[in-house]
Structure 1
């Protein structure tokens, strides 16, 4: 109990008195960061997650992200800001949730959608929570238009989509569904990979995909894979897939679908 007392006192000190909220919205995840930016004016956002200011994690331009205050997601930081709404994730630790509740903060916990329909539903939920249902409907309408424009009805081309390094996206992911919509069969799913994970080079060499999509061409593993594939007669093509299109759904979906559709149109039927 003695060890807990300093933290409890700190949280009590951070808790806003009645009628003394700082206002605004605090987001603790890069995906809700970029969705909020599409839903509400910048002045309503009190703070975003520190991940959005990291090149490998953000889903918004870094120069935009750096205009906002950030937090590391700790209860102390968030409570001190006294926001009107905290947008957190379903992975938020129970102790942090309890601290938010004790401080009387209005909090919305969002999961990580693995389907386009789930992502659209999340857009609607957050839009309603921030009083921007019209903007949420507009985002979802753009997603529907992008789906119609990207939809491929011909033969699918086997492709691997790497998230970073040797980490590939498999079955049961949002990117997997988008690949299918755009006419790219997810080779990682054919290899038996669910969600995300690594694939042995031997597996890829035994059944090379027609395409490899990757956010960058650097790294020892990628270089080895590229060199070994070049020795086969598979003719695997490697194309860029921007990192900012990988991490999130929502407003990112139209651009991701457009890129996937462009890649599919550029390969032989």
Structure 2
């Protein structure tokens, strides 16, 4: 993770665009933000999303994200920047899409990949759109190497990955695939949870996992969960999993795999 942060700092080694600057690329999504930082020189980035400058939402080191101008993602803000390209999401409201279309903005609407292959396809899609095919290919090679380095056992240790509070990662997600590759079985699937959803502590007590992965070890919900599990005598190991590794794929995948594999080795020991 430290190496990733250092590389991103090097890529972002210039000041934010001047207030009057026009053109460049505007991103409205934190996952697109990190892709841009990995793929293009900083002077091509007109603005990133405000999410990347918030500790609970970013997949970039905050020191990197805060070097760029950020927008709240309103159509008025984006149109005023007159960007060459807008990276938005498939969840962009119809009214905002229509405003971008009326303004003649070239816009790429990105989905939320649920597999490594889909994430790599998105890397290619964005790299092609921004003219950074070589960097996109290099990034996908790093992802391939990180995946190839995994040697998961078939059974898998049952684990729950909480995103925030009682919100857990369910089946059919990129995180679930990463967990499987590193020797974990997503226990949320046992409770019928798909994608993401709430998994109350009462449900958890009925069938505790071997491991809980959480970015909120110091949070009130995590503390309550910990106390209640302790009363049952359940042997559940709680390990920190950084929030920055939860939100996105792409450049995050190698770092997330490395952290999960380290946790798996810790559990085995």
1:115 corresponds to which residue?
115
Q: Distance in 2 between matches of 1:101 and 1:198?
A: 37
Name the TM-score, length of structure 2 as normaliser. Answer: 0.90
Q: Distance in 1 between matches of 2:167 and 2:151?
A: 26
Q: Distance in 2 between matches of 1:145 and 1:28?
A: 29
Shift of 1:231: 2.1
Provide, for residues 173-226 of structure 1, a one-character-per-residue CA deviation record: whole Å limited to 9, x for no partner.
111111111110001111111111111222211211110000121232211110
Q: Secondary structure at the match of 1:250?
A: coil
Describe how 1:113-262 pairs up with structure 2 within 5 A: 113-262=113-262
Q: Distance in 2 between matches of 1:26 and 1:151?
A: 39
Q: Distance in 2 between matches of 1:155 and 1:41?
A: 43
Q: Distance in 2 between matches of 1:225 and 1:135?
A: 43
Q: Distance in 2 between matches of 1:29 and 1:200?
A: 29
Q: Secondary structure at the match of 1:231?
A: helix
Q: Secondary structure at the match of 1:248?
A: coil
Q: Secondary structure at the match of 1:33?
A: helix
Provide, for residues 128-175 of structure 1, a one-character-per-residue CA deviation record: whole Å limited to 9, x for no partner.
000101111111111111111123134310001011111110001111
Shift of 1:230: 1.2
Q: Distance in 1 between matches of 2:117 and 2:81?
A: 33
> In the alignment, is residue 268 of structure 1 matched against residue 268 of structure 2?
yes
After TM superposition, the structure 1 stretch with the greater mean CA deviation from structure 2, 157-166 or 232-241, is 232-241
Stretches of structure 1 that go unaligned for 5 or more consecutive residues are 1-20
1:81 corresponds to which residue?
81
For the Cα contact (< 8 Å) 2:83–2:105, is it kept in 1?
yes
The total of aligned residue pairs comes to 249
Q: Distance in 2 between matches of 1:67 and 1:83?
A: 18
* Alignment root-mean-square deviation, CA: 1.3
> In the alignment, is residue 58 of structure 1 matched against residue 58 of structure 2?
yes
Runs of 4+ displaced beyond 4 Å = none
Name the TM-score, length of structure 1 as normaliser. Answer: 0.90
Q: Secondary structure at the match of 1:160?
A: strand
Q: Secondary structure at the match of 1:267?
A: helix
Provide, for residues 99-133 of structure 1, a one-character-per-residue CA deviation record: whole Å limited to 9, x for no partner.
11111111110011111111010000000000101
Q: Secondary structure at the match of 1:153?
A: coil
